[in-house]
Amino acid sequence: MFSLNRTHLRMVLTGLILTLSFAHSVNAIVTPLSPGPGDSFNQGSTCTTTWAGDSGSNWGDMTIELMSGSNFQMVHVKTVGTSLDGNKDGRLDFECPEVDPYAAIYFFQFSSPSTRDLTWTTRFTIADRDGRSVAPGETTQPDGALIPWGVGSVLDVAIGAGSGSIAITSIPPVTDAAPTSTSTLDNISTTGSTTDGTTTSTSQAGQTSPTSGAVSSTVSHTGPAPPASSPTSTPGSSSSGSNGSSTHGNSSNSDSENTGSGRKQCRRKVSKRGHPGRSSLGQ
């Protein structure tokens, strides 16, 4: 009788140990605590999730992912935390990403490479910066459960070395207009004589102003040549043409034509009275 009681006691103890071991294995998992139903975070603000750890679990290298999708086909949106210690209670804060759509379709998934077990939070809302969101795209789960859901994606993909933005340079349209020169020429002036004998200069700005001194480039005339001397020229002298010599003394009105150059000399009246200080030329 004593031996039977002893055997019975051993069986009871064995069953209790197995029960406790099973219970421990069932509870050896991280328990997500937040966010909960109705929680909402604005894009750009701080998103938060908390969990209760288990010191006897294998969750020392935990990963947390932002997810969307149905209960039967979950879709990864963004990994928000890695190398977290799920063996103890913890909290994760991060900047809420820009997502599409802004709706109550997002949840967190907790995982560890040391176990095949997964655990999740309930769905919560990520709204835009002003707190606006839309209704989930689906109202029921594939099994008919009245749990709204949808598929979302993140939009804050950085392009470039940490810039997080794309710079677009506007290119001007091509036109059929004649090309315009953009070259700049310094110290260029064009000078010539006007009909009144005044020397003019055209500056870079396109203005015409009187000038004096050497002429850098002459302006040719298609009509009759302007007077070779001003109306106040000294009486008794005239230009003889291209050889530059002068004649003095009495002379009559004369016309001369330089057939070699095609230029017509202007008619001049020479005073019959000689120059007060005539030179030996023409005597």
pLDDT value of position 34: 98
pLDDT value of position 28: 78
The string of pLDDT tens digits covering residues 46-58 is 999 999 998 888 8
Q: Which of 47-61, 100-114, 115-129, 202-216 has the lowest mean pLDDT?
A: 202-216
Q: For 26, list phi and psi in degrees, rounded to 5.
A: -70, -40
Quick one: which H or E segment has residue 270?
none
Residue 14 belongs to some domain of the structure: no
Beta pairing, strands 125-127 & 90-95 = unpaired
Residue 228 belongs to some domain of the structure: no
Q: Identify the top-confidence range among 154-158, 261-265, 272-276.
A: 154-158
Residue 266 belongs to some domain of the structure: no
CATH number, domain of 139, equals: 2.60.40
Residue 61 belongs to some domain of the structure: yes
Confidence of residue 125 (pLDDT cuts 50, 70, 90): very high
Q: Which of 9-18, 137-146, 264-273 has the lowest mean pLDDT?
A: 264-273
The string of pLDDT tens digits covering residues 76-116 is 999 999 999 999 999 999 999 999 999 999 999 999 999 99
Q: What's the farthest any 2 CA atoms get from each other in the chain?
A: 177
Exposure string for 65-97, b = 16+ CB within 10 A, e = fewer: bbbbbbeeebeebeebbeebebbeebeeeeebb
DSSP helix/strand/coil, 262: coil
The string of pLDDT tens digits covering residues 22-35 is 444 455 799 999 99
pTM higher than 0.75? no
**259 torsion bin: left (phi>0), alpha (psi -120 to 50), beta (else):** alpha
Beta pairing, strands 199-202 & 208-210 = antiparallel
Beta strands in 168-267 (DSSP E): 190-193, 199-202, 208-210, 257-258, 263-264
State the SS3 of 150-194.
Answer: CCCEECCCCCCCCCCCCCCCCCCCCCCCCCCCCCCCCCCCEEEEC
Q: Identify the top-confidence range among 11-20, 78-87, 180-189, 260-269.
A: 78-87
CA atoms of 113 and 233, how far apart (whole Å): 111
Cα–Cα nearest to 48, from 99, 94, 84, 111: 94
Beta pairing, strands 46-52 & 257-258 = unpaired
Q: Which residues pair with 208 in a beta bridge?
A: 202
- How many domains does the structure of the chain reveal? 1
pLDDT value of position 57: 86
Cα–Cα nearest to 238, from 283, 197, 213, 274: 274
Q: For 85, list phi and psi in degrees, rounded to 5.
A: -95, 105
Six-digit token string for 244: 């530059």
Mean pLDDT (the chain, rounded): 68
Q: Do 75 and 68 form a contact (C-beta atoms < 8 A)?
A: yes
Residue 65 belongs to some domain of the structure: yes
pLDDT value of position 127: 98
Residue 173 belongs to some domain of the structure: no
Check whether the bond before 101 is cis (ω within 30° of 0): yes
Range of the domain at 143: 24-154
Residue 159 belongs to some domain of the structure: no
pLDDT value of position 163: 41
Cα–Cα nearest to 34, from 148, 124, 145: 124
Residue 49 belongs to some domain of the structure: yes
Q: What is the DSSP letter of 87?
A: T
